[in-house]
Amino acid sequence: MRFVGAVAAGFIAAASIVGRVDGAFAQSEASGEHIDHSLYFGGVDLWRNGSFLHGGMLWSPDGLGREGFTLKGVFAGGSYNYLSGTTEITGTQLLTDVMPGWRFKGDHY
């Protein structure tokens, strides 16, 4: 469980840093409407043989509702164990991924 806690601490630290950077890009439409630049997500999977924690964020400098560059970061980790015949298998997993991309927007999608 310390492993999952370390992943959670890393995600919280990264979200804090990106939140400060996002404030530098804050802008409003001419109509006074606020533009959202970041979206945070996360979750947890718990069952009798393991536990996993995942989270991440999307960040778009031009706004999430517009076409353009988007950066997605994902953090995940956890541990599991199971019995294979007479052998107990124990494992841990850690995932960190940064994915640059382009957001497309149309009338019906």
The overall average pLDDT reported for the chain is: 81
**Residue 64 banded pLDDT, cuts 50, 70, 90:** confident
pTM summary value? 0.64
Coil, helix or strand at residue 30: coil
Chain position carrying tokens 């124990």: 90
Distance CA(52)–CA(39), nearest Å, equals 21
Cα–Cα distance list, 76 to 8, 55, 91, 92, 94 (Å): 8, 6, 14, 11, 6
Rg (CA), the chain: 18
18: pLDDT confidence band, cut at 50, 70 and 90? Answer: low
pLDDT confidence band for 43 (50 / 70 / 90): very high
